Amino acid sequence: MHDHILSKAKTVAVNAAREAGQIQKKHFESFDFVADDKGDHGDIVTEVDLLAERVILTSLKEQFPNHQIRSEETGWIGVEGDWLWLVDPLDGTNNFAIGLPLFGVSLTLLYRQKPVLGVIYETITDKLYIAEQGRGATCNGQQIELIYSTERKPRKMTVGWIQGHAVQKDAGALLLRQFEEHTFKRILRLWAPTLVWCMLAKGTIDGIIVYNSEGDDLYSGVLMVKEAGGVVMDFEGKDFTGMSTEPYLIACHPRDRELMLQLVSEGVKPL
């Protein structure tokens, strides 16, 4: 029964993500959209967020009327149950709004609060990433996995940094990021979290540090990295499963587990 649901969910999510991506691309190329402030932390929303969201929600509600949905702009829809969809219709809105082509679409299906399907569409490059629990991760149909280099020196490693909008200039975040800036070759901040997770999943960066960034764009990426052979743990080294309202996470190749944990622990200072 679940196999049937997951197979259908994969098809629906892929089609919805691609359709939302085409809306993004059309407006991005013509640069004809309106952006408004969202909240008190510098975040914004554009009409394209809403147009893309409408396409996705229409499809999900029609095909899965009994599934609950949490979407970036609309919030909660439906009655709580075993199945939950998380939707970020335009991950990287700030990039989109300034003409930076780093954005995409993220859909995650969770069963009893554990991600079982993640679909991420990188719009401009037309790359479709799919992660299925227990079945691996793919990019445009090709299997992807983390790559381990025999020479693992921090000064040669690139690590993604993801923080929540509410973190802002949090003193602990600033201290940790400054420490990691001095430790690694580069700390990468894309402001499009799902694309960072995909970079790790296909082995083009070496790790990710998440500083209190829970949202509708988190769990597709977590599943993507796990299914590509990576580990995702909290700052204490415990494997991350399920959901968290305040995630502080480290993701990397399993062989880098102790190194990454040590370097994050050294950078976390009591305030």
Question: What local confidence, expressed as pLDDT, does residue 42 receive?
Answer: 55
**61 within some domain:** yes
In sequence order, what are the beta bridge partners of 258? none
Q: Using one digit for the tens of pLDDT, what is the confidence trace for 254-269?
A: 999 999 999 999 999 7
* pLDDT band for position 116 (cuts 50, 70, 90): very high
Among 143, 177, 194, give the residue marking a domain's end. 143
How far is C-alpha 269 from the chain's CA centre? Answer: 26
Annotated binding-site ranges? 72, 88, 90-91, 217
Tell which phi-psi region holds residue 237, choosing left (phi > 0), alpha (psi between -120 and 50) or beta: left
Residues 6 and 127 placed together within one structural domain of the fold: yes
Residues 38 and 110 placed together within one structural domain of the fold: yes
Among 121, 143, 165, give the residue marking a domain's end. 143
Going by DSSP bridges, is the β-strand pair 43-46/35-38 parallel, antiparallel, or unpaired? Answer: antiparallel
Can you give the pTM of this predicted structure? 0.94
Residues 134 and 158 placed together within one structural domain of the fold: no
Annotated binding-site ranges for Mg(2+)? 72, 88, 90-91, 217
Residues 134 and 170 placed together within one structural domain of the fold: no
Question: What local confidence, expressed as pLDDT, does residue 49 receive?
Answer: 93
Higher-scoring residue by pLDDT: 143, 39 = 143
Among 143, 172, 201, give the residue marking a domain's end. 143
Does residue 253 sit in helix, strand or coil?
coil
Residues 139 and 6 placed together within one structural domain of the fold: yes
Does residue 251 sit in helix, strand or coil?
strand
**112 within some domain:** yes
Residues sharing a CB contact under 8 Å with residue 125, sequence separation 6 or more, in sequence order: none
Residues 66 and 177 placed together within one structural domain of the fold: no
CATH code, domain carrying 228: 3.40.190.80
Residues 160 and 121 placed together within one structural domain of the fold: no
Number of domains in the chain: 2
Question: What local confidence, expressed as pLDDT, does residue 2 receive?
Answer: 87
**148 within some domain:** no
Residues 39 and 136 placed together within one structural domain of the fold: yes
Question: What local confidence, expressed as pLDDT, does residue 45 receive?
Answer: 78
Which residue segment(s) compose the domain that 115 sits in?
2-143
Residues 9 and 138 placed together within one structural domain of the fold: yes
CATH code, domain carrying 135: 3.30.540.10
